[in-house]
Amino acid sequence: MNEASELHEVLYLSTLAPGAPLKVVADIAARARKANQAAGITGLLVFDGMQFCQHIEGPCKAVLALTERIRQDPRHVDVDILYHGPLAQRRFRHFGLGYTANEEADALARLREVGAEAALTRFLALVSTLDQDG
């Protein structure tokens, strides 16, 4: 595999921009599914009513480009990259973008309080408890 096609993963946490309507979340998910499929990106987006936590994976170049677009997206504030690195195999191969809601208060916010590896481990454990649409 060349560098551009090596699998890479990013886990980030962000907050819905003040004043942004909640319907923007469905818009983000719908548009991202199509764009991610075209770029070979898979992943899972969790939203708790205020914060987004997303795991994205795919070719390194595509994942890093998407991460930068997310950082610049005015619908997100306080974008915090919790984990990034090479990935041996996809974790969410069946999701162009899986989307689920999380109602546990502060579960996502607590991911900021731990180190990178622990944040990834906790996110993956959280995923198994969620109802997933995708």
- How do residues 37-63 score in pLDDT, each as one tens digit? 899 999 888 888 888 889 999 999 999
Q: With respect to residue 37, please indicate whether it lies within any of the assigned structural domains.
A: yes
Is the predicted pLDDT of residue 80 greater than 50, yes or no? yes
Please choose, from the candidates 36, 42, 69, the residue with its C-alpha nearest in 3D space to the C-alpha of residue 56. 42
User: Domain containing 11 — which CATH number?
Assistant: 3.30.70.100
- The reply to whether 133 falls in a domain is no
For residue 134, pLDDT over 60 is answered with no
pLDDT band at residue 131 under the 50/70/90 scheme: low
The pLDDT value recorded for residue 22 is 83
Mean pLDDT of 64-83: 94
Q: Domains in the chain: how many in total? A: 1
pLDDT of residue 107: 77
69 within some domain: yes
Would residue 72 count as lying in a domain? yes
Q: Is the residue at 132 inside a domain? A: no
DSSP strand pairing (76-86 vs 42-47): unpaired
- Write out the residue range of the structural domain in which residue 53 sits: 7-127
Strand 42-47 relative to strand 98-101: parallel, antiparallel, unpaired? parallel
Query: Residue 44: inside a domain, yes or no?
Result: yes
